[in-house]
Amino acid sequence: MLSNPAASFAKTITVASLAELQKAIDNAVAGDVILLKNGVYTTTDNIVVKSKGTSAKPITIAAETIAGAEINGTGGLSIQNPATYVIIRGFKFTNASGKNEIAAGSSFCQWTRNIFETVGEGNYLSIIGNDHQVDYNTFQNKNALGKFIGVRGVGKQIAERLWIHHNYFHNFSKQTGNGAEAVQFGLSGFSLSSSNSVFEYNLFENCEGENELLSVKSSAVTIRYNTVRDCKAQMTLRHGNFDKVYGNYFTKTPGLRIFGDDHIIYSNYFEDCNVAINIGNGGAEVADGAPLTSHDRPDRILIAFNTLVNNKSNILLTPRTPIGLGATSVTIANNLIQGGEDAVSINGPFANPKWEGNVIYKVKGPGSIPEGAYKILDPKLVRDATGTFHLQGVNPALNATGDNPLITVDMDGQVRKQPLQVGADQVSKAPVVARILTPELVGYKAK
């Protein structure tokens, strides 16, 4: 007997209950679109997704309209092995925290245009599997321990090849315990594994769950073109090596703190921060066998081509009691520092530094920058339409010093061409692909 070929054809299925939703998910084939009618749905168990779409024909599980279907109750939505190429779109999740997840063994799934405001302690969304995308979601109004997003992995390997972009993280009230980062990218045990993930074009506002905002505890993560505004928590490279941080905007925040080795920090913009760039004073050396939980001494860090404007404290290596290991082989080059206290203040061991080409203006003084590694010059910065300071035009006096093959783009995402100019901005006629973000540009309502 011949099977019915129509049985495997992709279709659109509209459902009006959680039972119908689960049945449609269980029976889904590549290309199916499952729509949950607008309304409020109360879970007692997880909605489980193990469906398998394809790159050309993903399975879409969506609200009838964006933000129209609300999931609450004690369960959540769990994408599990062997799910692949599944899109979750348009839901409002107000269910119990710790239930929404992308589990190990799943791959190539996407969460887009959702609102997360889950209840109680735990993560709004946990990511364990590889090759997932989380974009244009709004994570809001958290007042409990846990994270908006917690990235994990399996064994000692962090989740790989994630793309997290254009999300809006806002309103995370201060907690009394540790474990309330807005986003945590790994744990100490994952820190020496490479993620090769990109975290870009995300906006943080009014987040102060704890002292760390985006806490990176893994290696080979690219953090670019994000904006941190009015947050009392600090973006932190806490554990791991070979991370790239460039083209980000920090305003009215404690800026960026650095531990670990071989990080590249360039073309970032800091205004009205305290501190802007905080070089960690190492408590131990992981390469020599110290525990992965240590404050690993920063080694071979490049801090270059950043613009710092009107920060109370600019570039700082903080004291440590008892005396710390400091940092080694740090390059501080071609930064533009205007306003605030000393341009650089080093308060601990600082072996084999490289200093060159920094421009300072209206600061208290050069601080720890040696003679010959800075010049005092008015860069004639002006605010542009986005409200950030840029150069007015090409000024040969602001040309950079040295060979800088790793500096490829500026704060606007424009490709840098010779001669490079100091600071985060390169005068260019190339298209602008990055800017300081506002809520209208990110989250579930973004155009």
Residues 388-444: pLDDT tens digits?
999 998 899 999 999 999 999 999 999 999 999 999 999 999 999 999 999 999 999
In angstroms, the CA 103 to CA 445 distance is: 27
- Residues of the chain with pLDDT > 90: what percent? 96
pLDDT above 80: residue 38: yes
Q: Model confidence over 18-33: pLDDT tens digits?
A: 999 999 999 999 999 9
- Residues of the chain with pLDDT > 70: what percent? 98
Q: Model confidence over 182-239: pLDDT tens digits?
A: 999 999 999 999 999 999 999 999 999 999 999 999 999 999 999 999 999 999 999 9
In angstroms, the CA 214 to CA 201 distance is: 13
| Domain 10-330+434-441 part of CATH 2.160.20.10 | yes
Longest Cα–Cα distance in the chain: 88
In angstroms, the CA 315 to CA 232 distance is: 18
pLDDT band at 3 (very low <50, low <70, confident <90, very high): very low
pLDDT above 60: residue 6: no
Residue 36 token pair: 């949950």
pLDDT above 70: residue 5: no
Cα 168 to Cα 13, 88, 141, 165, distances in angstroms: 30, 17, 11, 9
pLDDT at 177: 87
Q: Model confidence over 344-400: pLDDT tens digits?
A: 999 999 999 999 999 999 999 999 999 999 999 999 999 999 999 999 988 999 999
Average pLDDT, the chain: 97
pLDDT at 112: 99
Q: Model confidence over 123-137: pLDDT tens digits?
A: 999 999 999 999 999
Average pLDDT for residues 238-265, to the nearest whole number? 98
Backbone dihedral angles phi then psi of residue 432, each to the nearest 5 degrees: -80, 125
Residue 50: CB atoms within 10 A of its CB come to: 18
pLDDT above 90: residue 41: yes
pLDDT band at 8 (very low <50, low <70, confident <90, very high): low
Q: Model confidence over 92-141: pLDDT tens digits?
A: 999 999 999 999 999 999 999 999 999 999 999 999 999 999 999 999 99
279: nearest Cα among 353, 196, 190, 372:
353
pLDDT at 23: 99
